[in-house]
Amino acid sequence: MTAGLCGWMRRVPAPVLLVLAACAAPPTVEPRPLAGGPTIAIYLVAHDDHTGIAIPRAHIPAGLWPESRDFPQAEYLEVGWGARDYYMGRDQGFWGTLKAALGQTQSVLHVAGFRGPPAEYFRSSEVIELAVPEDGFGRLVRAIHDAHERAGAATVAPLERGLYGDSRFYPAWEQFSLLNTCNVWTARALRAAGLPVEDAITKEGIMSQARVLAKQADEASPRMTK
């Protein structure tokens, strides 16, 4: 559904990606341990070369992420981050690819609202369910809230319609670069929720970690219910 988000990475030689992955800065924030207690399910969604995070709208804490109110009919909101011009389809040619890969460019958030189970809505994509504690969910929403380029405004207006369904683009403040990709942004957001995830430049780098976490949770859940 999201062709073009990090699609430029397909044009970067594999050896370059391997070197960059090895040189990527390690996480600067230690994930918080997942203690017992109530949890909230979030969903990691794999698109072409990009990852997004889907969260239940009903659990968004009051006072955070006011842009979520732009989707009053949605049960879930999926959010992704990427290079602004490339993500919005304005500059996907050779120079746009080179600019996104080697330079530092403005970024944007893509938010999609939908109803029904995420695995059904994104039936053509891999979707991994991850459980986070309630306070971790609040930190994740705070990270999304803080990613918007607010310039002192309480609420940010969308730039234009998004890529699919009921979706919109919103301005973000961070600079996009080859070492700060959409998947690195996703990893940081998951760490904010308390999940032990390391930065990953590629989609597979983040999805492989999520698969392990989901498997560990599945193996532990029978023991937790005894």
Q: Where are the domains of the chain?
A: 7-221
The pairs formed by 185-189 with CB atoms below 8 angstroms and a separation of 24 or more are 185/81, 185/82, 185/147, 186/44, 186/51, 186/52, 186/53, 186/80, 186/81, 187/27, 188/27, 188/29, 188/143, 189/53, 189/140, 189/143, 189/144
Q: Look at residue 205 in the predicted model and tell me its pLDDT.
A: 95
Q: What is residue 30's predicted lDDT score, i.e. its pLDDT? A: 45
For tokens 């998947």, name the residue: 183
pLDDT of amino acid 93: 59
Which has the closest alpha carbon to 212: 126, 128, 123, 120? Answer: 128
pLDDT of residue 119: 97
pLDDT score at 20? 41
pLDDT at 47: 93
pLDDT of residue 123: 96
Report the pLDDT value the prediction gives residue 101, as an integer from 0 to 100: 61
State the Cα–Cα distance between residues 15 and 40, nearest whole angstrom: 39
- The pLDDT score that the predictor gives to residue 4 is 47
Determine the pLDDT at residue 179: 84
pTM of the model: 0.83
Quick one: pLDDT at residue 21? 42
Regions of the chain where pLDDT drops below 70: 1-36, 90-104, 222-226
Residue 57 dihedral angles phi and psi, to the nearest 5°: -65, -35
What pLDDT does residue 212 have? 96
**pLDDT value at position 1?**
55
Q: What is the pLDDT of residue 198?
A: 96
Query: CB pairs under 8 A, 24+ apart, for 149-153?
Result: 149/173
